[in-house]
Chain A
């Protein structure tokens, strides 16, 4: 139910008084409501649930965890 999928904003396209974007999910493009993320811009990675962008992904935080886990010399984070 709380499934949310990361996608990349490819177009800002607001109409009918609603902030909206087209988001690309690995090649599948869908219209997404941006009312919760009005500052999102083309190229941003966002997390989408039920057609609504919940949050912008923190790309540095995403890479940090993987970086630790990919280096056998580092202790687990």
Chain B
């Protein structure tokens, strides 16, 4: 596919990796904050190409993974109401709530539908006026304009049966939190390309300046990521801390003003709990007063919900903050696998644990087999 395949070219990838190793005079540690980039890094073996000289840590780049348990529990409770249809992106279906997931709720007879676009959910509400249609609105700033367009369309048409269960999150406050950690090991961020396609770079300038950290807005293919790494390494070598854009083909400094205006019409910044991390100040987007009638929380009294219960053995919190790599978790590949996950990062298509399971599980399985004679004999 044009504008995709050429950025996966192996020769170009090797040239860039060689340039990084030639220019990095000392070891550096970078963090990417996008699940799509994490998957590209694992799938393409970029960490192996960069050797130990350039370490890539994976930040909280999976919005599904940080969606609060309470939100998921509320969605699960809504599936039990007879006239409610819950619409969701496919990624959410297997994420474990306190008691089960949306896929199991559908198996029990709940009306759970996977949609590709938020507008599809709004159109469903228009077609089925006797049902209350709830869209599970999760995602970073990339996804918010699409949801805002659906909200405005529903309101303009006077739809009374379309609702949003909102759990949108904003990237800059999470970067600020990670950059402020007194035990911080990372020297630069690779910022998520498509978030900045919408938002631009202005919010990142104060983070780079305050914490003396380069921030390189980076794309998603192997060539993009290695060029982003090279740009970050050059800044570190020169002692600079600028916001720069690698992903020029999709990101302008000002972002997309029309998309940002849509967001601002429907949403405003608010404090939000991030699953595994805690409340991040201004870390989310909530509906403005003018759109409060779309809020799905009014459909069910929150005191009717179960007390949220996180599985004790899940270490997603440390994984999400780059303090632990998935294979270092004692449950990885053992008590936690995609078919039986303990936490969201193992089943979301952008979760770090899912990425390691898809591309590096062989390393861990060899180790498990060597510790378990019965399994080794079987193999």
Is A14 an interface residue, CB under 8 A from the partner? no
Q: How long is the Cα–Cα vector from A21 to B250 in the complex, in angstroms?
A: 19
Closest approach, in angstroms, between the C-beta of B348 and any C-beta of chain A? Answer: 8
Q: Is B2 an interface residue (CB 8 A)?
A: yes
Q: Does B333 sit within 8 A of A, measured CB to CB?
A: no
Q: Do A36 and B89 contact each other (CB < 8 Å), given the known contacts A49-B194, A51-B120?
A: no
Can you list, as one digit per residue, whether each of B216-232 has a CB less than 8 Å from chain A (1) or not (0)? Answer: 00001001000100100
Tell me which of A1, A2, A50, A65 contacts B223 (CB under 8 A): A65
Give the complex CA separation of A45 and B62 in angstroms.
27
Chain A residues close to B by CB (< 8 Å) = 1-6, 16-18, 25-26, 33, 35-38, 45, 47, 49-52, 54-55, 57-59, 61-62, 64-66, 69-70, 72, 75-77
Are A47's CB and B12's CB within 8 A? no
Quick check: A35 and B197 within 8 Å, CB to CB? Answer: no
Rounded to whole Å, the gap between the CB of A17 and the closest CB of chain B is 6
- Minimum C-beta distance from A10 to chain B (A): 14
| A54 engages B259 (CB within 8 Å) | yes
Q: Is the CB of B1 within 8 A of A76?
A: no
Chain B 243-260 interface mask (CB, 8 Å, partner A; 1/0): 000001111100010110
Most chain A beta-carbon neighbours within 10 Å: one of B2, B89, B118, B193: B2
Q: Which of A5, A36, A76 contacts B258 (CB 8 A)?
A: A36
Most buried by B among A17, A51, A59: A51
Q: Which residues from B are CB-within-8-Å of A47?
A: 194, 197, 250
A54, B149: Cβ atoms under 8 Å? no
B80 to chain A, nearest CB (A): 26
Is B97 in contact with chain A by the CB < 8 A criterion? Answer: no
Residues of the A chain whose Cβ atoms lie less than 8 Å from the Cβ of B12? 66, 69-70
State how many angstroms separate the Cβ of B159 from the closest Cβ of chain A: 12
Which of A6, A37, A54 touches B142 (beta carbons < 8 Å)? A54
Chain B residues whose CB sits within 8 angstroms of the CB of A72 once the complex forms = 15
Chain B residue at minimum C-beta to C-beta distance from A52: B146
**Known A6-B4, A33-B146, A45-B2; further 13 A-B contacts with Cβ < 8 A:** A16-B153, A17-B157, A35-B152, A49-B142, A50-B143, A50-B146, A51-B120, A52-B119, A52-B146, A54-B256, A65-B227, A76-B15, A76-B230
Show 26 A/B contacts (Cβ-Cβ < 8 Å), sorted by A: A1-B62, A1-B91, A1-B143, A2-B34, A2-B63, A2-B192, A3-B220, A4-B197, A6-B3, A16-B157, A17-B157, A26-B2, A33-B146, A36-B198, A36-B259, A50-B143, A51-B118, A54-B250, A57-B250, A61-B248, A65-B227, A65-B249, A66-B6, A69-B15, A75-B19, A76-B15
| B262 sits at the interface (CB 8 A) | yes
Contact indicator A36/B249 (Cβ below 8 Å): no
How many A-B contacts if CB must be within 8 Å?
150
Residues A35 and B262 in contact, CB atoms below 8 Å apart: yes
Q: Is the CB of B146 within 8 A of A2?
A: no
Nearest A-chain residue to B4, judged by Cβ: A6
B124 CB to nearest chain A CB (Å):
13
> Is residue B16 contacting chain A, with contact meaning CB distance below 8 A?
yes
Q: How far is the CA of A76 from the CA of B62 in the complex (A)?
A: 31
Known: A2-B34, A37-B256, A69-B16. A57 touches B3 (CB 8 A): yes
Determine the distance from Cα of A52 to Cα of B140 in the docked complex, in whole angstroms. 14
B213 on interface, CB distance cutoff 8 Å? no
How many Å lie between the Cα of A17 and that of B349 in the bound state? 34
A1-B64 contact in complex given A54-B194, A54-B197, A54-B256, C-beta closer than 8 Å: yes
* Residue pair B117, A51 in contact (C-beta under 8 Å): yes
Contact in complex: A35, B142 (CB < 8 Å): no
Residue numbers in B under 8 Å from A52 (CB-CB): 117-119, 145-146, 149, 259
Interface contact A55-B250, CB-CB below 8 Å: yes
Please report the C-alpha to C-alpha distance between residue A5 and residue B153 in the assembled complex, in whole angstroms: 24
Q: Are B36 and A2 within 8 A (Cβ)? A: yes
CB neighbours (8 Å) of B248 from chain A are: 58, 61, 64-65
Contact B34 A69 (CB under 8 A): no
CB-based contact B195/A17 at 8 Å? no
Is B156 engaged at the interface, CB distance under 8 Å to the other chain?
yes
Asked if A50 contacts B3 (CB within 8 A), the reply is no
Output the least CB separation between A52 and chain B (Å): 4
